[in-house]
Amino acid sequence: MKKGGTVIVALFCVIYLLNPTAGLFEIIPDQIPFFGNIDEASITALLIYCLKKLGIIFKEEKQKKEIKQEKEF
């Protein structure tokens, strides 16, 4: 995915997650037990993927990279 597309998808994910339940759009209604939260979990995973593609590294990822580099030396 190109950088522009990644930014657009990341913005969509943020808007979707900030959208209150039963707001403007909802992929799977939250009233359905268990399955109602799958869409939010999927969107969160997609947002994390987009942030990693954009080079935004989470603290744990940075620590893993540092440890891996130390082991290589």
Q: At residue 45, does pLDDT exceed 80?
A: yes
Q: Which two tokens stand for residue 2?
A: 């190109």
Which residue matches tokens 């997650």?
17
- Note down the domain range covering 53: 3-72
Find the mean pLDDT for residues 44-70: 81
Find the mean pLDDT for residues 41-50: 92
Check residues 45 and 67 and name the one with the higher pLDDT: 45
Number of structural domains (the chain) is: 1
User: What is the tens place of the pLDDT at every residue in 7-43?
Assistant: 999 998 988 888 766 556 667 777 777 787 788 889 8
pTM: 0.69
